[in-house]
Every structure is written in C-alpha cells, then in structure tokens.
C-alpha cells in the first residue's frame, strides 16, 4: 500500500515537473517573441526617423500661465498680443516694426521664379561657397537664445522656421530673432504629421503666418513642412499660395539627440555650396545642437563657406542667372553673311 501511495505521489510530482517545464518554456518563448516584436518596432522607428518623431512643447512648469492656451489646437486660435519688452531700445524697435508692418515694407521678398517651388538646395555656378543654416521648431526658452548668442558671436545670419504654438508662448524670443537680423519662416501651427483636410491645412499655415506678422511685422514667404512630409496637405496649400517650400540638403539628425561628434559629422558629410542645413532649436532638448553648433561653424569656415539666410541664398542664384542672361544677350551673334565672307 505504501508503495502504491508513493508511486502515486511520484507520478504527481513527475506530472507537476513536466507541467512546470512546459509553462516555463512557454514563458521563455513569449519573452523572446516580445523582444523580437520590440526590436522590429524599433527598426521601423529608426527607418522612419524624423517622420515619426514626437514634437514636444516645453515643460509646462516653465510655460507662463495663459487663460486662452489650450492643449489641443483650436479651429481658429486666439492670437495673443505680443508681450512688450522692458528694454527701451527693443521697445523702440518693436514700435517701428509695428508701424512698418502697416505699410508691409518689411515683408520678405523672394524672387518670383522661386514662388511655389520646392527645393532642398540651389545651384550656384560661382566659386563663392554659400550655405544656409536653418533651425526648426522654435522659438524655445533656452536653446533658441543660446543659438542666437553663438550666431551673434560669429556674425552669422540664419533662418528660423517657427511653430505657432511655442511662438504664442514666447513672442519676445521671436522678436529677438528678428532683432538680430535673422530670417523667419513658417513651420505650421502645431507640427502635425497626419493627413489634414484642406481647411485644417490652411489654418496650420495661415494662423502661423498671422501670428508671425503680429509679433514681428514680417510676413514670411518661406515654408517648411514638419518632418519633410509632402503629402498631408500643408505643402499643397503652401505651393498654391506661392510660398517657397524649403527642404534641406544636409540633415543633422539632431532630433534623435546623437552625440556631438556624430551630429557634426551628419552636417559636414552632405554640406555643399547652395545647400540648406537642417537643425532644431525647439521641439525638445536641443543641448547637443547647442554644443555642436560652434564646431560646425568652425569646420564650415575652414572649408571656405560663408553663411547666408534662405532668402539670401535664393537671391544669389537669381543674381547669377541674371548675370548669365546678360552675358548671353551681350555676346554678338555671327550672321550668315558674315560667315560667308569669313569663309571667302
């Protein structure tokens, strides 16, 4: 009897052990499959890179409270009055901007041949090496100001593609950008990637333009789509309304927060005359960009580059084309009779 009971317990123990091993095996298999799935998703995210990156507003703790600010985009956002700066000289300049804005003398003019066009670079035939540094997603409370300091130290003018939401929160930073002589451009209101209705796409562009105009007195004629996405409606609207759509020829990939040496290499490997360099002053922590910028400037200078804004880059190509056209009209043509006489 004891033998039978013992055998029975032994059978139960064996069954329990087998079951435990089976359950453990299933758990291990599930863990492996989960890791594979995570790796696959990570690969997809790496492939899509900028298109799928999240645009983050600054920490709410450092954003001034505002009664009319909502977390979601409004159908037609309330455009707030620009905060008047306390600096008397800046106040005077802003007053002049507001006066000038009424007569639109400060509107950004681009050559007619570029209106409605989409380019990532311009073709320069001269030996002069010009390149445009561009910064997206600002204005931002720390990084934009640090970038302005670096650019001012090296006497460099750049182009800032501004997003409506942070622009609404930090109008004084945008005013400082213009006061320092930089160009401003439109980068939509809320930095959305998904497909939009024509009405939503129009609001994304128009509301940002209206706010830039209200704060700085400038009407930007240059647009860049968030993530470089061409098919969600905003580019179609921009082209239809004769914006120049500025893409980029050199991507720093700073949105992925690479190391400073890697960020510098990303810019330098595709730097070329007539090119536009993509960096970010907003949308997240841009400390690597701030640290890399002086190195990028130094290396580009060593290669003989001069720095211009995007409007200036377009003007350079326009001027070159005009010179070439003038040369072609000034060159005397040989008529048939002259040719015959020459042969005689």
The first and second tokens of residue 145, run together, are: 């100001």
Nearest to 231 by CA among 187, 196, 203: 196
H/E stretch holding 186: strand 183-186
Q: Is residue 203 within 8 Å of 25, Cβ to Cβ?
A: no
Is residue 147 within 8 Å of residue 122, measured between CB atoms?
Answer: no
Helix, strand or coil, per DSSP, at residue 293: helix
Structure tokens given for 102: 């009424």
Q: At what angle do helices 198-216 and 171-179 cross, to 10 degrees?
A: 60
Q: Comparing C-alpha atoms, which of 216, 223, 291, 234 is closest to residue 259?
A: 291
Which helix (H) or strand (E) segment holds residue 134: the answer is strand 130-138
Per-residue DSSP letter, 242? T
Residue 278, C-beta contacts closer than 8 angstroms, at least 6 positions apart: 134, 136, 248, 250, 251, 252
Q: Which of 182, 187, 191, 280 is catalytic?
A: 280
Which residues contact residue 6 at a Cβ distance below 8 angstroms, ignoring those fewer than 6 apart?
none
CA 21 – CA 3 distance, rounded (Å): 27
Active-site entry in 136, 207, 251, 254: 136
**What are the tokens at 221?**
């004629």
Is 187 annotated in the active site? no
Strand positions, DSSP E, 77-226: 118-119, 130-138, 159-162, 183-186, 222-223
The answer to whether 136 is a known catalytic residue is yes
Active-site residue set? 136, 280
């Amino acid at each position: 009897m004891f033998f039978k009971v013992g055998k029975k317990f032994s059978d139960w123990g064996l069954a329990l052990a087998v079951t435990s091993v089976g359950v453990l095996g299933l758990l291990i298999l599930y863990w492996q499959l989960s890791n594979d799935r995570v790796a696959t998703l990570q690969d997809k995210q790496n492939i899509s890179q900028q298109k799928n990156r999240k645009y983050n507003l600054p920490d709410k703790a450092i954003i001034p409270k505002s009664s009319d600010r909502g977390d979601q985009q409004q159908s037609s956002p309330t455009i707030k009055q620009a905060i008047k700066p306390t600096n008397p000289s800046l106040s005077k300049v802003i007053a002049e901007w507001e006066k000038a804005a009424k007569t639109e003398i400060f509107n950004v003019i681009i050559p007619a041949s570029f209106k409605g066009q989409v380019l990532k670079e311009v073709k320069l035939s001269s030996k002069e090496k010009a390149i445009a540094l561009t910064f997206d997603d600002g204005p931002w409370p720390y990084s934009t100001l640090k970038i302005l300091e670096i650019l001012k130290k090296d006497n460099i003018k750049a182009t800032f593609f501004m997003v409506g939401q942070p622009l609404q929160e930090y109008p004084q930073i945008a005013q400082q950008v213009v006061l320092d002589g930089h160009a401003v451009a439109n980068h939509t209101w809320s930095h959305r990637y998904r497909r939009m209705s024509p009405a939503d796409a129009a609001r994304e562009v128009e509301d940002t333009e209206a706010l830039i105009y209200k704060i700085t007195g400038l009407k930007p004629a240059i647009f860049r789509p968030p993530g470089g996405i061409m098919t969600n409606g905003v580019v179609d609207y921009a082209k239809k309304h004769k914006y120049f759509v500025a893409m980029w020829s050199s991507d720093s990939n700073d949105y992925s927060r690479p190391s400073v040496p890697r960020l510098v290499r990303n810019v330098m490997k595709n730097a070329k005359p007539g090119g536009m360099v993509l960096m970010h002053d907003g949308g997240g922590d841009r400390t690597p960009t701030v640290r890399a910028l002086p190195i990028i400037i130094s290396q580009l200078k060593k290669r003989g580059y001069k720095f211009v804004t995007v409007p200036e880059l377009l003007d350079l190509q326009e001027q070159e084309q005009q010179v070439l056209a003038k040369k072609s009209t000034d060159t005397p043509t040989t008529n048939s009779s002259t040719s015959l006489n020459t042969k005689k």
